[in-house]
Amino acid sequence: MTSDGVLTNRSQFRSQIGGHGNQREAIREKSIVMHVKVEDLKRDEIAALSEKSGSVLDPSNSLDLIECAFKPNPTNGTFGLSLNLPEEGNTEIRIFDAQGQTLVHEELNGFSGKYNQQFDLSEQASGVYFISVMQAGKGKTMRIIKQ
């Protein structure tokens, strides 16, 4: 699976203009655009991430996902992860940085069905990140490239 998108982060700056009772407010907007690319990992890449992170990951990417989506595109730096898992089981969702450090770890006991969660990478540096979904010994690991 590969998808490309744009994440945007807007911040507003306010300043007072004028004087002697003639004050008015000026707003300047600054936009930051971040491009994000999502793709599946290969077996050797998953094995390397598993070793770096100390997490057990499925190198075969065998988890059956009915749906896996990242949205909206564009967004303000926060993206939604939507999954649909057809089977019931204890489920773990992790986001790792390139060094294998876990940034997000969520455990869902006895989970099946639709999952929708918002994540925010806007404060993270540009680079490679990984999302792993594990359920009942099967997993799916994807790479996110934030530019």
Quick: pLDDT tens for 115-126: 999 888 788 887
What does the pLDDT read at residue 18?
Answer: 46
**Calpha distance 37→144 (Å, rounded):** 5
Torsion of CA 123, 129, 135, 138, to 10 degrees: 180
pLDDT for 121 equals 79
HSE-CB at 68 with a 13 A cutoff on CA atoms is 18
> Are β-strands 67-71 and 78-97 bridged in parallel, bridged antiparallel, or unpaired?
antiparallel
- CB neighbours of residue 113 within 10 Å: 11
| Average pLDDT, rounded, for the chain | 75
Q: What per-residue confidence (pLDDT) applies to 57?
A: 87
Residue 95 has a CB neighbour count (10 Å cut-off) of 19
How much is the pLDDT for 72? 55
Percent of the chain with pLDDT over 70: 68
Give residue-wise pLDDT tens across range 48-72. Answer: 888 988 888 888 888 888 888 767 5
pLDDT confidence of residue 37: 61
Question: Using alpha carbons only, how large is the chain's radius of gyration in Å?
Answer: 19
* Domain spanning 2-6+34-146, CATH architecture: Sandwich (2.60)
